[in-house]
Amino acid sequence: MNIKLNSIKVDKADVLIIPVLEDGKEEMIESLSEIFKHAKEKEKFSGKHGEVFTSIKAKKAKTQDIIFIGLGKEKELTGEKIRLAMAKALKKARELKSELIYVKYINTAKLKLDVIVNSMVEGLYFGDYKFDKYKTDRKDQPSLDISIDGIDNASLDKGEACLAESKTLAEATLFARDLVNEPANVMYPQTFAEKAKESGEKYGFEVEVHDEKQIEELEMKAFLAVGRASDNPPRLIVMRYFGDKDNSKDILGLVGKGLMYDAGGYSLKPTDGMVDMKSDMAGAAAVLGAMTAIAEQGLKVNVVAVVAACENLISGGAYKPGDIIGSMAGKNIEVLNTDAEGRLTLADAVYYAIAKEKVSEVVDLATLTGAVLVALGTTTTGVITNNEKFYKELKKAADSSEEKMWLLPSFDEYKEILKSDIADLKNSTGRNAGTICAGLFIGAFAKDTPWMHLDIAGTSWMDNEKGYLTKGGTGVGVRTLYYLAKDRS
């Protein structure tokens, strides 16, 4: 997909995508006014959000498809609504076998230029995403040339910069989706580490991969316990981007849960709960995706991302319910449930980021609990923090990406629940407050460093297509992490 601004003339395109506000006063393109009038007659098309009307314009030899796409009322317009509308229109344009696509810029005072360009571009990209590489009968679709037209000349430079950033963000998000959608027999610790290395070379960040011996030397005992049963050895992947070299004080730490597969271990999951567990590395995919975007845009920030990649399986050497294991921080952990493995790998990864990489703040992203689905569903990511100011920064970033986040409480009473009778902490606390307790377990290893935990178990995977999200990985977190880094630059 190749998107440009003001590049394809109206009458040269195969298809015209015309976004329409329900109550818009904007003038229609002269040559479409008849068709638009026809569309509006008898309420065939009124511009309600998501409404689509297609028509054909035939003038002499040149025939064009027209797609009117509704945006809803102007005062209710958001970037998210634009994303949804653009994705829908793009799918329609694909159905119509278009290759040269003209998209009319959404000219509205309701939103800023950067929001409009960003949401239009992301919507177009997301609407065209497919994960069909394993279908041998798939047909390679022609690549699309798209022009977003109608930005006034004075705003064109700003528009170009927004376009470039939006392409980066869309591609990084779709990259994360790909990583999640790859099955676990393809995407395991070593191959994920290879992907990280390739990305580092391509976008310009340093990638260091520690193998199982080095992980042992680091004494990451909790991480090692989880990964022990797999024939695929664990990898500790460290990605470093120093865009602000003069500043050695501020380093943003990103930690992604990297369970390349989670069968539950001896606390084995039922088959139904296991089938989608290749996605238990969506946090790792999000931080890798975010790193590519941060580096590609050359942000003036320092970011270090850490992924403790392993698989949670069963074997004669596996860790067992009842085991007491150590951790890099020195704390002993009573394992009551081997399926509560994410917090164990993250405890060591977060501690490593603080102790060895000297990050000044740390955010972890993890598909950590089924409980977050019960609490917030598939639309909203649950957040836990030890620092409200840091959460405000996240909230601002999430306002830019329009990814939904919600802060859960972290009262001391919850921390009491984590205490073990015979060790320092226990890894499983029963049914109550599952998401909060799981998050606070990780927080116990962050000590006084500003820390935030995003439980993306509900938002990183869709069981069915929904809006601009396809069935499977969503790439959630990539764009929010990017804005979090950008706002610090």
Identify the helix (H) or strand (E) that includes residue 90: helix 79-95
Does 296 participate in binding Mn ion (rule CB under 5 A)?
no
* Closest CB to Mn ion among residues 45, 441: 441
Find the angle CA(97)-CA(176)-CA(241) to the nearest 5 degrees.
130
Tell me, residue by residue from 326 to 355, as one string, x for binding to Zn ion by CB under 5 A and - for no binding: ----------------x-------------
The number of CA neighbours under 13 Å toward the Cβ of 61 is: 1
The secondary structure of residue 454, as a DSSP letter, is E
| Whole-number Cα distances in Å, 310 to 36, 111, 284, 298, 346 | 56, 44, 11, 30, 11
**Site residue total, Zn ion (CB under 5 A):** 4
* Closest CB to ligand BES among residues 199, 232: 232
* Closest CB to Mn ion among residues 119, 267: 267
Does 311 participate in binding Mn ion (rule CB under 5 A)?
no
* Catalytic (active site) residue 139: no
Q: In whole angstroms, how close is the CB of 340 to ligand BES at the nearest point?
A: 4
Q: In what order do the strands lie in the sheet with 52-59?
A: 2-5, 145-149, 100-104, 15-21, 62-72, 52-59
Q: Which residue has the tokens 């818009």?
A: 24
Chain positions contacting ligand BES, by CB under 6 A: 262, 280, 337, 339-342, 367-371, 428, 434, 457
Measured between alpha carbons, how far is 240 from 110 in angstroms, rounded to an integer? 39
Does 165 participate in binding Mn ion (rule CB under 5 A)?
no
Q: In whole angstroms, how close is the CB of 120 to ligand BES at the nearest point?
A: 32
Q: Which residue of the set 91, 269, 331, 415 is catalytic?
A: 269
* Catalytic (active site) residue 269: yes
Measured between alpha carbons, how far is 458 from 476 in angstroms, rounded to an integer? 10
Q: In whole angstroms, how close is the CB of 437 to Mn ion at the nearest point?
A: 14
Q: Which residue of the set 94, 228, 343, 479 is catalytic?
A: 343
- Select the binding partner of residue 371 from ligand BES, Zn ion, Mn ion, none (C-beta < 5 to 8 A, by kind): ligand BES
Computed on alpha carbons and rounded to an integer, the radius of gyration of the chain in Å comes to 24
Binding region for Mn ion (CB under 5 A) out of 5-13, 88-96, 178-186, 341-349:
341-349
Does 262 participate in binding Mn ion (rule CB under 5 A)?
yes
* Closest CB to Zn ion among residues 155, 337: 337
Does 348 participate in binding Mn ion (rule CB under 5 A)?
no
* Closest CB to ligand BES among residues 153, 271: 271
- Select the binding partner of residue 439 from ligand BES, Zn ion, Mn ion, none (C-beta < 5 to 8 A, by kind): none
8 A C-beta contact, residue 71 and residue 81: yes
What is the footprint of Zn ion within residues 272-311 (CB under 5 A)?
Answer: 280
CA nearest to 444, candidates 418, 421, 420: 418
- With H, G, I as helix, E, B as strand and everything else as coil, classify residue 265: coil
Q: In whole angstroms, how close is the CB of 339 to ligand BES at the nearest point?
A: 4
The DSSP string of 335-404 is: -S-TT--HHHHHHHHHHHHHHTS--SEEEEEE---THHHHHHTTTEEEEEES-HHHHHHHHHHHHHHT-E
Determine whether 358 is exposed, middle or buried from the number of CB atoms within 10 Å of its CB (0-12, 13-18, 19+). middle
Instruction: Please list the residues that pair with 203 across neighbouring strands.
Output: none
Question: Residue 130, Cα to own-chain centre: how many angstroms?
Answer: 16
Q: In whole angstroms, how close is the CB of 347 to Mn ion at the nearest point?
A: 14
Does 455 participate in binding Mn ion (rule CB under 5 A)?
no
* Closest CB to ligand BES among residues 122, 339: 339
Q: In whole angstroms, how close is the CB of 368 to ligand BES at the nearest point?
A: 6
CB atoms within 10 A of CB 110: 15
Residue from 339, 348, 361, 393 that binds Mn ion (CB under 5 A)?
339
8 A C-beta contact, residue 82 and residue 110: no
Tell me, residue by residue from 243 to 262, as one string, x for binding to Zn ion by CB under 5 A and - for no binding: ----------------x--x
Q: In whole angstroms, how close is the CB of 345 to Mn ion at the nearest point?
A: 10
* Closest CB to ligand BES among residues 65, 262: 262
| Residues acting as catalytic residues | 269, 343
What is the binding site for Zn ion (CB under 5 A)? Answer: 259, 262, 280, 342
What is the binding site for Mn ion (CB under 5 A)? Answer: 262, 339, 341
